[in-house]
Structure 1
Amino acid sequence: MMSDKPKITGYRQLTDADIDLMNQVKAKGQEMGELIDKLKSTDGLDQRWIATGATDIQKGLMCVTRGIAQPNSF
């Protein structure tokens, strides 16, 4: 296994495949963040819905990251 890597309290030891998946999620998050920034600076759009969508996207990314990491604590 990967016992030479430091353990994060409350999390199982991540495999290289897990880390790769998390990095893919983070890359998509960065991509979505850039799109949200573009939408925020576009006149004529309903910014309330843009903000709600941004929050929901952030929540979704956090959920899938937690699904990969599978923490054993609250």
Structure 2
Amino acid sequence: MLKKIAFAALLFQVALLSALTTQTLLFSSATQAANAPASGPVAVTSSECADATWPDIPAHCLERVETRKVIAIVAD
């Protein structure tokens, strides 16, 4: 009985360590992005739109596309 409890505790510790490691590795970039200093509005030229990379693409560089009606054709 004691061996089963000890084995369960060991498995729990391994699972906890694995979860914490995964969280640290996967979400560290999101934490760094959230801690980035916010700057005021910046004037961007059209040449900067060509050089912009995600996630620092200015809003006016993004192409806006209007949605269309979806026409569904049902085959008999």
TM-score of the superposition, structure 2-length normalised?
0.32
Between Structure 1 and Structure 2, which shows a larger proportion of helix residues? 1
Higher relative contact order (CA 8 A, sep 6+): 1
Of structures 1 and 2, the larger Rg is shown by 2
